[in-house]
């Protein structure tokens, strides 16, 4: 394994720690991690963050419908919908970047500083996903 990997891993963890200290509710952060991981096809991260979300009190039913959140809008608050849209636009940034509508709505709901942290959270999980998928990491099935 590349010697730089442990150091880069440490830096990504430090960003996670910083984001956790911002006052953004843990469930919001888990929604970011779950949605980005779905879009990136990172089963390793999906497994970790589904379990973490449930530990934080998330209803598993919301996790089941997360990939179709637009069709289940009544299941997600306005703030959560903005977070999910922001996460999707960061994750699929090649399509068009962050739209003015989503960015402005995020500023309105969360303020400029927390919006930056939400964007940073989405960027960071995308980095973790790329490590997970790139290194061919898979979740362990404990039911075997």
Q: What are the tens digits of pLDDT across the range 46-55?
A: 999 999 999 9
pLDDT at 1 over 60: no
d(Cα 38, Cα 59) in Å, to the nearest integer?
17
Q: Which helix (H) or strand (E) holds 24?
A: none
Residue with tokens 């960003």: 15
The tens digit of pLDDT for each residue in 3-23 reads 556 788 899 999 999 999 999
Spatial neighbors of 33 by CB under 8 A, at least 6 apart, are: 45, 49, 52, 121, 125, 128
Max alpha carbon distance in the chain (Å)?
48
Mean pLDDT of 39-67: 97
pLDDT in tens, 32-42: 999 999 999 99
Question: Taking residues 71-80, what's their average pLDDT?
Answer: 96
pLDDT at 141: 83
Q: What percent of the chain has pLDDT over 70?
A: 96
Distance separating alpha carbons of residues 85 and 73, to the nearest angstrom: 12
- Asked if 121 contacts 34 with a C-beta cutoff of 8 angstroms, the reply is no
Contact between residue 67 and residue 38 where contact means Cβ atoms under 8 Å apart: yes
CB contact at 8 A, 63 and 34: yes
Taking the alpha carbons of 17, 22, 25, 27 in that order, is the dihedral positive or negative?
negative
């Amino acid at each position: 394994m590349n010697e730089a990997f442990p150091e880069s891993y440490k830096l990504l963890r430090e960003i996670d720690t910083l984001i956790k200290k911002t006052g953004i509710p843990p469930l919001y952060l888990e929604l970011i991690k779950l949605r980005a991981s779905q879009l990136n096809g990172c089963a390793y991260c999906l497994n970790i963050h589904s379990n973490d979300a449930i530990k934080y009190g998330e209803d598993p039913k919301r996790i089941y419908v997360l990939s179709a959140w637009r069709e289940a809008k009544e299941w997600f608050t306005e703030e959560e919908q903005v977070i999910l849209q922001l996460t999707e636009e960061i994750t699929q940034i090649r399509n068009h970047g962050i739209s003015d509508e989503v960015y402005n709505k995020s500023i309105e709901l969360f303020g400029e500083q927390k919006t930056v942290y939400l964007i940073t959270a989405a960027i960071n999980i995308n980095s973790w996903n790329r490590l997970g998928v790139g290194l061919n990491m898979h979740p362990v099935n404990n039911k075997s």
